[in-house]
């Protein structure tokens, strides 16, 4: 009973924060520079550092900061107890320390800046590229280049259910078009994330019904069989392209 009450309180807290700070929108906009360097051939964006550093908690915090900091000056200061509730952590001093460490990690990555606001620490968004530049809404740019993370990610519990590899691949998938290719070797170069992490993320998302793929054989002269399998992936459900539009 106690665990169900705690889960309900957490769900209500998340929904309340999204409704109050998110306004009427149903998604979080993120620049594609977060998942991939916007240069010829791509390369690692800031997302790769979360994966290599196993910074799952910092990634959860970062995505939710984006959900809450929805209006100028692109800031939020819910307090560590609220963060603990959102992240499903007990209200203990150890949780407070863990949350502080995650926020400091985001500051070192130049994805947020923060300042004291009484007893709380107020977080301000910086550009998603990790350049340390000031944040502006990506839709207001001269050349908009962003993707949408649906609120369904939190509302339907995907933030709890998915591992760090699966969450990372989900973000990459959301940044791509319908029926996209993500070959492991090339994907590792394009995003700076290991082929093993990509493989595990793709398998988990497929198993969970978030991704569906179709495959066919194409010519590959360097392959021992002269052919190789090519898979095209499509997001499903609340993450499907038509749902995000």
C-alpha–C-alpha distance, residues 144 and 163, integer Å:
29
pLDDT in tens, 55-79: 999 999 999 999 999 899 999 998 8
Query: Given its phi and psi angles, is residue 67 left (phi above 0), alpha (psi -120 to 50 degrees) or beta?
Result: alpha
Spatial separation of the C-alpha atoms in residues 175 and 163, rounded to whole Å: 19
Q: Which helix (H) or strand (E) holds 139?
A: none
Tell me, what's the pLDDT at 220? Answer: 64
- Tell me how far CA of residue 43 lies from CA of 61, 130, 148, 173, in angstroms: 24, 14, 21, 16
Q: So where are the chain's domains? A: 2-244
Structure confidence at residue 226 (pLDDT): 61
The whole-number pLDDT of residue 3 equals 67
CB atoms within 10 A of CB 147: 20
* Residues of the chain under the 70 pLDDT cut: 1-3, 5, 21-23, 217, 219-227, 243-245
27-45 CB burial, b ≥16 within 10 A, e <16: bbbbbbbbbbbeeeebebb
CA 95 to chain centre: 22
Q: Where are the alpha helices (DSSP H) in 89-224?
A: 93-108, 152-155, 158-161, 164-174, 184-191, 195-207
SS3 123: strand
56's CB contacts (< 8 A; 6+ apart) are 50, 164, 167
CA–CA separation, 155 and 15 (whole Å): 7
- Cβ neighbors of 32 (< 8 A, separation 6 or more) are 38, 45, 145, 146, 147, 175
* pLDDT for the residue numbered 151: 94
Would you state the pLDDT for residue 215?
80
Q: Judge whether 186 and 211 are in contact, CB under 8 Å.
A: no
What's phi and psi for 191, nearest 5 deg?
-120, -5
Among 245, 57, 84, CA closest to 167: 57
């Amino acid at each position: 009973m106690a665990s169900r009450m705690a889960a309900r309180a957490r769900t209500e807290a998340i929904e309340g924060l999204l409704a109050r700070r998110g306004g009427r929108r149903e998604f979080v906009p993120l620049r594609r520079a977060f998942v991939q360097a916007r240069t010829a051939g791509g390369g690692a964006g800031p997302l790769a550092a979360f994966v290599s550093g196993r910074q799952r908690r910092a990634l959860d915090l970062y995505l939710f900061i984006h959900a809450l900091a929805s209006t100028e000056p692109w800031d939020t200061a819910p307090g560590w107890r609220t963060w603990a509730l959102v992240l499903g952590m007990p209200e203990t001093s150890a949780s407070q320390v863990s949350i502080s460490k995650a926020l400091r990690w985001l500051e070192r990555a130049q994805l947020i800046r923060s300042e004291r606001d009484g007893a709380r620490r107020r977080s301000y968004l910086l550009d998603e590229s990790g350049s340390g530049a000031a944040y502006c809404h990506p839709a207001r740019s001269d050349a908009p280049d962003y993707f949408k993370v649906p609120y369904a990610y939190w509302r339907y519990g995907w933030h709890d259910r998915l591992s760090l590899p699966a969450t990372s691949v989900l973000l990459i998938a959301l940044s791509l078009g319908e029926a996209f290719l993500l070959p492991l070797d090339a994907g590792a170069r394009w995003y700076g994330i290991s082929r093993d992490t990509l493989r595990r993320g793709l398998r988990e998302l497929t198993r969970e019904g978030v991704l569906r793929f179709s495959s066919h054989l194409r010519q590959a002269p360097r392959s021992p069989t002269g052919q190789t399998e090519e898979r095209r992936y499509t997001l499903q459900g609340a993450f499907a392209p038509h749902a995000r539009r």
